């Protein structure tokens, strides 16, 4: 979720008056992760995915889920052991670990 914060630094000085509402420091954009609630993130720390704002950790988790779903759809999420029993491959899969 995007929100705005006022980071006024009281930089006004004689000969350099305060710009008031036009000052960019009064309108700093910050983000909160829609999944875990981590906040005070700036633009390069957030990922916009399917209408959600995600932090790095939640974005990586989402990517892993997508790759895991691809494995499942392709039938690569299991194998048969020596006894012919079906076994889950997720414990050794780079996408799941």
86-88/28-31 β-pairing: unpaired
Output the pLDDT for position 9: 87
Asked if residues 87 and 78 have their Cβ atoms less than 8 Å apart, the reply is yes
pLDDT tens digits for 50-71? 899 999 999 988 888 777 777 7
Percent residues over pLDDT 70 in the chain: 91
Q: Where are the alpha helices (DSSP H) in 7-93?
A: 56-74
Output the pLDDT for position 94: 65
In the predicted model, residues of the chain with pLDDT beneath 70 are 91, 93-97
Output the pLDDT for position 97: 52
Output the pLDDT for position 71: 72
CA end-to-end span of the chain: 29
């Amino acid at each position: 979720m995007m929100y705005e914060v006022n980071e006024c630094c009281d930089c006004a000085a004689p000969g350099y008056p305060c710009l008031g509402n036009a000052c960019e420091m009064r309108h700093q954009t910050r983000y909160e992760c829609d999944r875990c609630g981590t906040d005070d993130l700036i633009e390069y720390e957030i990922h916009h995915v399917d209408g959600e704002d995600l932090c790095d950790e939640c974005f990586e988790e989402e990517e892993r889920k997508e790759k895991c779903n691809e494995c499942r759809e392709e039938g690569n999420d299991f194998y048969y052991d020596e006894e012919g029993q079906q076994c889950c491959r997720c414990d050794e899969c780079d996408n799941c670990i």
